[in-house]
Structure 1
Amino acid sequence: MTDKPADIHETIKRLKSAYPASRIALNFKSPLELLAAVILSAQTTDVAINSLTPALFDRYKSAQDYAAADAQELEGLIKRSGFYHAKAKSLMGMGKILVERFNGQVPSTMADLTEIPGVGRKTANIVLWNAFGKIEGIAVDTHVARLSKRLGFTQEDDPVKIEKDLMKLVPHGDWGRFSHWLQDHGRAVCTARKPNCAGCLLNDICPSAFKV
């Protein structure tokens, strides 16, 4: 055990080896489907979102479809995602912005994506990397935030500040995949309530090992 932050390069090396096929857990076939799925995934598990998106994507195939959606019908399809009133509003707003400003297409820059209702830096980073293979930052969700603090990479609670700390440490070429590695490790080992430190491949370099 150590009181020093985990070595970032050793951390990445081990996580990359442990989760070689690491990828986003949400199912999608287009940038629009991914953007909608990520908006819906706020405060909800990816498993839950994957269970409802097939019907959603079958009904709404374009930005125009979301822009012209009947709120009650849309809410019915996404009700299981939680906070469905707000999320339906975001999806409809997303469709309108895409139609009005981006010719119905999902834009591929951070500046443009963050102008869309319901889209912050986390969502934009996820879409940029997973739909376009572009890197402008590091997506910080609850898993990434939790593990980054436990590993000593940040002392911040705000996702934007955590992202800034990580961008200083993580090699640029790993920014996109870094979130997936931490997410996989956070689900499998370093869980929120009872992390399995004894079975963790980082326990000899993690400053929080056996202390959480």
Structure 2
Amino acid sequence: MSRDEVHELFSRLAEIDPEPTTELEYSTPFELLVAVVLSAQATDVGVNKATRRLYPVANTPQAILDLGEEGLKRHISTIGLFNAKAKNVMALCRILVDQHGGEVPRTREALEALPGVGRKTANVVLNTLFGEGTIAVDTHIFRVSNRTGLAPGKDVRAVEDGLMTVVPPEYLLGAHHWLILHGRYVCKARKPDCPRCIIRDLCRYPDKTLA
């Protein structure tokens, strides 16, 4: 896409959703961090169902440590890979209590040092909690970036680097959420809803669906 086309793409997405945000439910930085860790290879809907059970019982690092790993598993057992995720969340909580005063750290280095937190999770936290212009490339963003021609890449890091290069600065804070939501509800994996897409005339995808 040309620079003008990229600007137009984000201008349209911003017009219909001026303040995009995550669909994960949370009320504190710690709740968001845990929700993002739990969301790996799981849907936001499924994670929200689990955290609605968990957070009224334990929503701080110390409270989850007090709950214990088996207690945590009972609350998140509906989520895929819950055994490994419970182990990571317990270890994460221990580090937050011992090294960060129970608070979510604000640096990429400290976030990525937490069990279960990789670059993608760190990017979500930095963007959503701390207002940094980061883009966490999940399957939706990877698909949209490649299909549209916005930032083609063979892997998620290539797409992330491409997006960081082409996204206009004024749209960088919201780009992560706009692209995820567009991929989730319009540019879907099996059958994109091209007739309903507001950027279809800018998109390079050759196999657009018809009404």
TM-score by length of 1: 0.90
In structure 1, which of residues 16, 19, 34 is the aligned counterpart of residue 17 of structure 2?
Answer: 19
Residue type at the aligned position of 2:178:
W
User: Could you tell me which residue of structure 1 aligns to residue 157 of structure 2?
Assistant: 160
User: Could you tell me which residue of structure 2 aligns to residue 183 of structure 1?
Assistant: 180
Contact 2:192/2:208 (CA < 8 Å) preserved in 1?
A: no
Contact 2:151/2:166 (CA < 8 Å) preserved in 1?
A: no
Residue type at the aligned position of 2:109:
A
Which deviates further from its counterpart, 196-205 or 59-68?
59-68
The CA deviation string for residues 24-45 of structure 1, in whole angstroms up to 9 with x for no partner, is: 1011011000000000011111
User: Could you tell me which residue of structure 2 aligns to residue 30 of structure 1?
Assistant: 28
Shift of 1:211: 4.5
Alignment CA distance shift 1:149-1:86 (3 Å): same
Aligned equivalents of 1:128, 1:183: Cα separation in 2: 16
Aligned equivalents of 2:26, 2:201: Cα separation in 1: 37
Residue type at the aligned position of 2:6:
I
Contact 1:138/1:179 (CA < 8 Å) preserved in 2?
A: yes
Aligned equivalents of 1:5, 1:139: Cα separation in 2: 23
User: Could you tell me which residue of structure 2 aligns to residue 121 of structure 1?
Assistant: 119
Residue type at the aligned position of 1:15:
L
Aligned equivalents of 2:152, 2:10: Cα separation in 1: 19
Contact 1:138/1:163 (CA < 8 Å) preserved in 2?
A: yes
Aligned equivalents of 2:139, 2:121: Cα separation in 1: 13
Aligned equivalents of 1:77, 1:5: Cα separation in 2: 48
Residue type at the aligned position of 2:97:
V
Counterparts of 1:5-84 in structure 2, within 5 Å, are 7-84=5-82
Alignment CA distance shift 1:61-1:147 (3 Å): same
The CA deviation string for residues 12-70 of structure 1, in whole angstroms up to 9 with x for no partner, is: 01111122342210110110000000000111111111111122112223212334442
User: Could you tell me which residue of structure 1 aligns to residue 110 of structure 2?
Assistant: 112
Alignment CA distance shift 1:114-1:173 (3 Å): farther
Alignment CA distance shift 1:20-1:209 (3 Å): farther
C-alpha RMSD over aligned residues: 1.8
User: Could you tell me which residue of structure 1 aligns to residue 202 of structure 2?
Assistant: 205
- Kindly indicate whether structure 1 or structure 2 has the higher relative contact order, using CA contacts under 8 Å at least 6 residues apart: 1
Counterparts of 1:76-155 in structure 2, within 5 Å, are 76-135=74-133, 137-155=134-152
TM-score by length of 2: 0.91
Shift of 1:126: 1.2
Contact 1:140/1:163 (CA < 8 Å) preserved in 2?
A: yes
Count of aligned positions: 208
Contact 1:66/1:96 (CA < 8 Å) preserved in 2?
A: no
Q: Does 1:170 align with 2:183?
A: no
Aligned equivalents of 1:9, 1:183: Cα separation in 2: 17
Contact 1:22/1:177 (CA < 8 Å) preserved in 2?
A: yes
